[in-house]
Amino acid sequence: MGYFYVIFAAVLWAVSGSSAKFLFNSGVTPFQLVQLRITIAAVSLFLWLLLRNPSLLKIDRKDILYFAVFGTLGMGACQFTYLFAISKINVAAAILLQYMAPSFIAMHAVVFARDKLSLQTIIALLGATFGCYLVVGAYSLDVLAMNLAGIVSGILSAITFAWYSIHGEYGMRRYNPWTVIFYAMLFAALLWNILHRPLEAFFHPYNVVQWGWIMYIGILGTLVPFGLYLEGVNLIRSTRASITATLEPITAGVISFIFLNEILEPLQVTGGVLVIASIIILQIKQEYDEKAPALIRSQNKSKNQTG
């Protein structure tokens, strides 16, 4: 069931990316969609927590600044850069660029936590970097020139998501994950109702189909997959869950090919395989590092008992 939850979450996220592309093609701007998505998600989660467990809405006053920074620079920036990238380049390419985040997390650990890079980590970082080079079509100067804004935004989405993941650990140590997610969404919604005229995106004349996809992105493309992913992590651990979630860019590529006629060239597909393989290497290495101390202690205990 844990794997099922994560696979379902990955599919919902992938559909969300493709539906966002559909909205962009029909005239909705990234600024409007990020305001719609994050506001709908924040309000929906607030109402859900208020009805189900109001205690999860309580935080210490001293943590308000943390959540304000975390929500604006993390959730808010990540949501916009991700959607803006989708509006400029292929959905699968935009999602795969965001999957550079584990590489940035690894580099952060080296620079700030003084961790040493293993051979596996170096191979994974090089593979992810070269893979993304292929995915965005950087081998073609014309493509690079056409999609430069989308490429930069995609890379920024990976950086902001990595920042969100790293700094989210503080909140997770003190609060329930749903409390952290809600306040991240709340401050992100406040940000995008200041940068973009308050609730302006809600007053455009969208048709029924557009409103359907907007509501999907806000609820089924944001709240539900977050919940499914957390349930999956509880059952199969975060390492296996994150590996399983790499189905998202593959699913997004298939959906975009079927419904949006977006085609990835063979070299771009090869780059996607390299990115996913690199992420798996990083995650397997992380799991080994987590288990190694316990394994060494067990071996030493066995030796002592034998002696």
218/43 Cα distance (integer angstroms): 10
Task: Enumerate helices (H) and strands (E) in the chain, giving the number of each.
Answer: 14, 0
According to DSSP, residue 81 is labeled H
Mean pLDDT (whole number) for 212-219: 94
The residue ranking higher by pLDDT, 134 or 297, is: 134
Residue-range domain boundaries for the chain: 2-306
Q: How confident is the model at residue 211 (pLDDT cuts 50, 70, 90)?
A: very high
Mean pLDDT of 184-200: 94
Picking from 43, 60, 80, the residue whose alpha carbon sits closest to that of residue 196 is: 80
pLDDT in tens, 18-64: 899 899 999 999 999 999 999 999 999 999 999 999 999 999 999 99
Task: Identify the residue with better confidence: 94 or 285.
Answer: 94
Please name the residues in contact with 116: beta carbons below 8 A apart, sequence gap of 6 or more: 110
Instruction: Give the pLDDT score at 214.
Output: 96
| Angle ∠(54,166,63) on CA atoms, nearest 5 | 40
Q: Extract the tokens encoding 100.
A: 């550079």
If 0-12 CB within 10 Å is exposed, 13-18 middle and 19+ buried, where does residue 105 land? middle
On the CB side of 199, CA atoms within 13 Å amount to 3
DSSP, residue by residue, 89-133: S-HHHHHHHHTTHHHHHHHHHHHHS-PPPPHHHHHHHHHHHHHHH
What's the mean pLDDT in 128-151? 73
Q: Which of 67, 103, 153 is nearest to 277 (CA)?
A: 103
The CA distance from 283 to 126, in Å, is: 15
Q: How many angstroms separate the first and last alpha carbons of the chain?
A: 44
Indicate if the pLDDT at residue 243 is higher than 90: no
pLDDT exceeds 60 at position 239: no
Q: Stretch 146-153: mean pLDDT, rounded?
A: 84
